Structure 1
């Protein structure tokens, strides 16, 4: 009697398992690359600031002026590779691109974590901050998935057989990926993950809430035995629980070490200090102003291009016209040198009061140089880039008419 065993074929089953593994890896890597690219492309200026930290570590500061452009390219490449991987287009080339990128990223995150040089990798922008070791672990997992894809790259075929359609999809992927980053660079992030986003009440984000958990530290003592000359280290808890303090044979040597055990509440805005040219503190006066308050931000006015100067002049003239009809305040907030601000004032006849703050909070306020933030009673009413700042009529109708 003959038995039909065609339903079981170990070789065929193994191939199916491998194909399933490839499909899962393609799906996970494709989605993650698209998400990572889009979340950073939502704020290419912020990602550019993170790249500058890496440039500093590797002594590549000459690239700082091109950091945002490089950021847009990196984000676009991530999205394009992710899309093409899911679509199965140019499988071999995409597999090589993914492998090269992930090897580079894995080296970068390991270097940052091991030498503790960049505190956050910026892999997912400000939306999902990761520690350096978390970033490295994520890249190791991605590397393993991409190695599977690379080893099976000859098995990647287009989901759509029509070559003309595939070419259109490639063009769409390239245009959309670069276009998104260029748009958000020009007109601010579509989703703002920073503490200065529209609708936030800034004074509340600068004060510690009642009952907020504090940082918990562990103190480590170095003890030395007077008789045996033995040394050991104990925590403050062990020191008290074991009543070592009662044993006169042990003495504390040197100063105790402090180690952070548990992070407490972190202020969303911990570092904003607004001063005049003489160093007087005007933070509360400006931030809590009950009237409409235009804050024009600039990290460095000395780096204004001709286009930036035209934009600032337009902003200045618009605010000047509005101030004749409305009770408002307008300031220029910058981390620039006093002489550079004075030169700018003389060039453009600014109506803006000049105040100074550290570059870090200014970079978080408006991702544009210059940018504009409208406050009232400490609340962020609206933000504009240098390209999106509206006309006097629009401002009066949409934001000032109720005053």
Structure 2
């Protein structure tokens, strides 16, 4: 009996120590798990969510200290009562999660050993039996060391846990058990190996056969039945292979940029899952890092689950010089336990991952693409102009009023700003933007990529494009910048075509189309149309004029070279 008690005592104590340490290594992660339990559809005690982190730290320290106390025999009766109460509580919690399918992973061992709800419940039942056995054989538990030594060990354990918790909160988990650890390639982590087991489903087809409901189960194929089909329910038999990374996306304005950025060398990503909960004192250090990274030739982006309004607020308050993209909040919480946090990637491989407190540990070398002349103050002014340049244009393109209102709310535009004469409001902004851009063009020349980076180098051109009467004054400056590689020559070619069309002259590259009552939808007349594809190729257009027409007007449309004399405008 003594040997059995000793074995169970050591086993339970070590299990509590391991479980407590794994969670203490990542208290932020455990607090996220507690917030899942506090949610309205689980325990419905959401008022506890603000206290999740503090509660997580207390629970894991108690768990770890109890494990030590059980092994050394410190205050046996109190220790056993606390262990019993704790395991009863967690057994109830895991049963509730498993039975009602509320929280799929209890977080008992953090990310080190994910367990399903039923596995967690089974583990807790076994522990409950063991702890009850120890509880009823308390006399068989013999303490180690003297009472003073035991007290010192418990005190040192408690202080050590507090110090370790503080360290990981101010930095990052000492051991990273997650799928996004340093050295992992995200693209490879999302890949399903060839020959991996596939998910298996049972399909329960319900039919009405002669007034009686009958269920026929198959694994996908539609069953042969003469009855009337009512419905089908799906049941997961086996989930098959799930890649370690299966929920990583980078999106903006409805488009996916995941593949683009995972193939980008020398990428710095700033992660802030919720800007309303971000640690604002971390952003000055982040700004210094990202400004330096941009000058040294790195691509810099931000990832957040917050909306456009929160992003604009951050950019305005912190003078941030990079764009944000959208990623799911749970994914961002998993990637880095810091808000904000920093990742350094090279073609999808995580090179470094740091808390904002350790921003000075990010290694930045001077790359061949470095832009030492980068004017970040000018870049910020142009980025600000870009936001106003596109403030109302997306709304103006949406003709359905309900969709326009939904889009405005999504963009964070208040009601008073998405009603009334939107064109008038946008023209007022265009006039203000034009004044600033003209001053920049006159004083700095064209602000190209070596001066303000990409895509900021396109903003001045776009503002002039929206004020086409100014094209004549700056077209030569744009051509010079394109020849120097500061802006894409294609953009200038489109602008030049637009300017020529406005003057009722033949365009050069065939980029402009129009609709008139007489001519319908047509390509504006082109100078020397027989050589237009050569000019398009030299200007960087990817499609011939014939391919462009087919994409623009339908696959059966044919390019027709018109002359100015044949055009009749409305």
Residues 299-351 of structure 1: CA deviation (Å, up to 9, x unaligned): 111223xxx32222112112212432x21011121111211111111111112
- Give the whole-Å Cα distance in 1 for the aligned partners of 2:228 and 2:114: 40
Match of 1:139, SS?
helix
- Give the whole-Å Cα distance in 2 for the aligned partners of 1:153 and 1:34: 20
- Give the whole-Å Cα distance in 2 for the aligned partners of 1:158 and 1:212: 51
Partner residue of 2:283?
Answer: 312
- Give the whole-Å Cα distance in 2 for the aligned partners of 1:230 and 1:365: 52
1:63-212 matches, within 5 Å, as: 63-161=48-146, 163-212=147-196
Distance 1:323 1:123, change over 3 A: same
Distance 1:237 1:108, change over 3 A: closer
Picking from 18, 31, 37, the partner of 1:54 is 37
Partner residue of 2:261?
Answer: 286
Q: Does 1:344 align with 2:287?
A: no
- Structure 2: tracts of 5 or more residues without a match: 369-570
| CA-CA distance at 1:69 after TM superposition | 1.9
User: TM-score normalized by structure 1?
Assistant: 0.84
- Give the whole-Å Cα distance in 1 for the aligned partners of 2:8 and 2:163: 28
Residues 161-202 of structure 1: CA deviation (Å, up to 9, x unaligned): 2x3322211111111223223322222112222221111111
Contact (CA 8 Å) 1:73, 1:178: kept in 2 or not?
A: no
Contact (CA 8 Å) 2:31, 2:53: kept in 1 or not?
A: yes
Q: Does 1:218 align with 2:202?
A: yes
1:298-377 matches, within 5 Å, as: 298-304=272-278, 308-324=279-295, 326-377=296-347
Partner residue of 2:13?
Answer: 30
Partner residue of 1:42?
Answer: 25
- Give the whole-Å Cα distance in 2 for the aligned partners of 1:172 and 1:402: 48
Picking from 229, 236, 250, the partner of 2:218 is 236
Contact (CA 8 Å) 1:72, 1:182: kept in 2 or not?
A: no
- Give the whole-Å Cα distance in 2 for the aligned partners of 1:328 and 1:127: 33
- Give the whole-Å Cα distance in 2 for the aligned partners of 1:303 and 1:239: 48
Name the Cα RMSD after superposition: 2.3
Contact (CA 8 Å) 2:273, 2:306: kept in 1 or not?
A: yes
| CA-CA distance at 1:117 after TM superposition | 1.1
- Give the whole-Å Cα distance in 1 for the aligned partners of 2:220 and 2:337: 49
Distance 1:252 1:191, change over 3 A: farther
| CA-CA distance at 1:360 after TM superposition | 1.3
- Give the whole-Å Cα distance in 2 for the aligned partners of 1:85 and 1:297: 41
Distance 1:99 1:323, change over 3 A: same
- Give the whole-Å Cα distance in 2 for the aligned partners of 1:257 and 1:33: 41
| CA-CA distance at 1:66 after TM superposition | 2.2
- Give the whole-Å Cα distance in 2 for the aligned partners of 1:302 and 1:221: 46
Partner residue of 1:3?
Answer: none
Partner residue of 1:266?
Answer: 242
| CA-CA distance at 1:29 after TM superposition | 0.8
Larger radius of gyration, structure 1 or 2?
2
Residues 23-43 of structure 1: CA deviation (Å, up to 9, x unaligned): 122111101101111111121
Partner residue of 1:6?
Answer: none
| CA-CA distance at 1:208 after TM superposition | 3.2
- Give the whole-Å Cα distance in 2 for the aligned partners of 1:28 and 1:362: 36
Distance 1:314 1:177, change over 3 A: same
Match of 1:390, SS?
helix
Residues 255-284 of structure 1: CA deviation (Å, up to 9, x unaligned): 3332222221213222222122x2332222
- Give the whole-Å Cα distance in 2 for the aligned partners of 1:373 and 1:225: 60
Contact (CA 8 Å) 1:221, 1:252: kept in 2 or not?
A: no
Q: Does 1:255 align with 2:226?
A: no
- Give the whole-Å Cα distance in 1 for the aligned partners of 2:137 and 2:230: 59
